Amino acid sequence: MPSNRLPWDSPKNRLTLLLEEKRRAGAPVLDLTESNPTRAGIPYPREEILMALADPAALVWEPDPLGHPAARLAVAQAHGVAPESVLLTASTSEAYSLLFKMLCDPGDTVLVPQPSYPLFDHLAALEGVRVEPYMLRLDDDWSADLSGAPRDAKAVIAVNPNNPTGSFLRVADLDRFAALGLPLISD
């Protein structure tokens, strides 16, 4: 029997129903939530990947809870930081779960953009964390409206570029986030 942390019998929302209808009708769909590069139409170096897998070193599995040392070194060098300050996760979902555990106690709140990635509600619920939305407003451009943000939140999430709007954070948005004095979680 599943836990009571999530509403397991959640009804499908209007967007999910519309997407199913479009796919049944054979309509072309550009799925902005697709994260698998092999299905998203993003070109990738197929031959180089296959050649790397032919290397006998690929047969050795040496797990590291912080991520493979060579990968951490490459990321650190690309960003000009020490490898000890890099933690690699299997996915952004895992990263969000770890950050919720590190920054929040059960019952604490994180601020999430609206519209945004719908999985935040579920990831937070699994960690016993509540989400409070802040609105992304579209005037001439998208901007974060933090006017109604609760001051007792433990962190603020910003998705850059935002999913589904495609908007990017502006300097003014970063200034608003900084004024909150909260850790900023961004992917």
pLDDT-derived band at 1, boundaries 50, 70, 90: low
pLDDT digits 0-9 by tens, 63-94: 899 999 999 999 999 999 999 999 999 888 99
Quick one: 174 and 103 in the same domain?
A: yes
Number of compact structural domains in the chain: 2
Tokens for 26, please give them: 């054979």
pLDDT digits 0-9 by tens, 28-55: 988 777 777 788 777 888 899 899 889 9
Quick one: 117 and 169 in the same domain?
A: yes
Who contacts 157 (Cβ-Cβ below 8 Å, separation ≥6)? 96, 110, 111, 112, 113, 116, 120, 184, 185, 186
Of 150, 143, 148, 134, which Cα lies nearest the Cα of 173? 143
Determine the pLDDT at residue 132: 94
Q: 10 in a domain, yes or no?
A: no
Quick one: 125 and 176 in the same domain?
A: yes
What CA–CA distance (Å, rounded) separates 115 from 14? 14
Quick one: 34 and 120 in the same domain?
A: no
Question: Residue 123 belongs to what domain range?
Answer: 91-186
Q: 25 in a domain, yes or no?
A: no
Q: 22 in a domain, yes or no?
A: no
Quick one: 136 and 78 in the same domain?
A: no
Quick one: 65 and 104 in the same domain?
A: no
Q: 73 in a domain, yes or no?
A: yes
pLDDT digits 0-9 by tens, 146-180: 888 888 999 999 988 888 888 888 899 999 999 99
Determine the pLDDT at residue 150: 82
Query: Residues 82, 126: contact at Cβ < 8 Å?
Result: no
Determine the pLDDT at residue 15: 81
Quick one: 79 and 99 in the same domain?
A: no
What global pTM score does this model have?
0.74
Determine the pLDDT at residue 117: 82
